[in-house]
A and B are shown apart, each in its own frame.
Chain A
């Protein structure tokens, strides 16, 4: 998987992870992939739901050592 941009949103509390993710997505082209790293547990449900609402595709997510990583493909 080719990552086009990485967003480090670790340590940020809700709503900032999503606000930053949205801004980062706005800079990408359709079909490009954003990697987002967050530590806020609430981001799992919110980022998943936001991705659907915004029409993007959540390709994968993983949790390692308290860091949640998401891979989102722009619509």
Chain B
């Protein structure tokens, strides 16, 4: 029978379109339980490849014959071997090209909406890790916010849209993934902005991203305005784009809120987080569409694959915005926090420019989910 490869892009379509898929994940059980390909209509079987070296007969009855079966491993080699064994046993199966490594790297650009004067706002959904980046495009110019490390994706996308990247922003110093912001700015001549309060230790030049800094993108002068909103980090800054969208960084997510402990002590920033979520954001128009820098669970995706929701709806529905007692809020965001993201201390050092790991080391650091939220 045949063995076919499936690309990360094809898997992404299945996730977004909520198609069924049976995933045979042949990585170690620890690795599988820590992090896997999430899909609302996916089914799973985890058996490490090294338990199948003597043959795949025992798992054949567990594999459906009426839907696609995708064999997944860390880098591809083992999944290909198991796929070949299954094929020899008479089954049609796929293996994931590049394994979880390529899944972690894949970005799906999705248009969020139109901006004044023909502008467009795109969200780049990194399904494997739950990272969200943004590009504001308006008549020949672009601004990029919270870019992940795959800089070519952003520079090529801007080129396709005939736009020159003029501004690059990071809402905060990221701890879960390596930022591409500084490198995109170097490659394009754009100005790179970073909140100075997060940048005490950075070793490169940047423009300070202070409260009320506003840039205008393209001929239609689309406004991208900064709003100081500390709590996840002390520098965390949000953006209001075209008076229509609120980019919240890692402060407010769709179904959770930012955790205050990745850059220091949770206790220090609880008050800031509370102030941002319960006062600063409350003063904003409820019709703003919230666009966060992460999603945590696949249910946060909209029908079209975007992660976006009206601020007013979040005030009504997001548990983290509805904790009346300050004491309980403090407890929620400082006690029993989930594990920290993989290698988060190292990743912060990379984003400060203090260390420059090679490609493989970067991949290794970014393994696993983002874990930036508390619920």
Among A1-9, A12-20, A30-38, A67-75, the stretch that binds chain B is: A12-20
Nearest 4 Cβ contacts at the A-B interface: A50-B50, A15-B78, A14-B77, A18-B50
- Known contacts A18-B53, A19-B53, A41-B364: does B48 contact A49 (CB below 8 Å)? yes
Q: Can you list 16 A-B contacts with CB-CB less than 8 angstroms, sorted by A residue number?
A: A14-B73, A14-B75, A15-B49, A15-B50, A15-B81, A16-B77, A18-B49, A18-B53, A22-B50, A45-B30, A46-B28, A46-B48, A49-B29, A49-B48, A49-B50, A50-B50
Chain A residue nearest to B51 (CB atoms) is A53
CB distance from A53 to the nearest CB of B (A): 5
Q: In the docked arrangement, what's the CA distance between A37 and B256, Å?
A: 46
- Known contacts A13-B77, A53-B48: does B364 contact A22 (CB below 8 Å)? no
Chain A contact residues: helix, strand, loop or mixed: helix
Contacts of B81 in A (CB 8 A): 15, 19
List 5 other contacts, CB 8 Å, given A15-B49, A22-B53: A15-B77, A15-B78, A15-B81, A16-B77, A46-B28
Asked whether B31 is an interface residue with its Cβ less than 8 Å from the other chain, the reply is yes
Against A, the Cβ 8 Å flags (1 = close, 0 = not) of B47-59 are 0111101000000
CB distance from A68 to the nearest CB of B (A): 15
Q: In the docked arrangement, what's the CA distance between A57 and B364, Å?
A: 28
Contacts of B364 in A (CB 8 A): 41
Question: Which residue in B29, B51, B53, B75 is a CB contact (below 8 Å) of A13?
Answer: B75
**CB atoms of B51 and A14 under 8 A apart:** no
CB distance from A58 to the nearest CB of B (A): 13
Q: In the docked arrangement, what's the CA distance between A64 and B48, Å?
A: 27
Q: Which of B355-375 contact A (CB under 8 A)?
A: 364
Chain A residue nearest to B77 (CB atoms) is A14
Contacts of A14 in B (CB 8 A): 73-75, 77-78
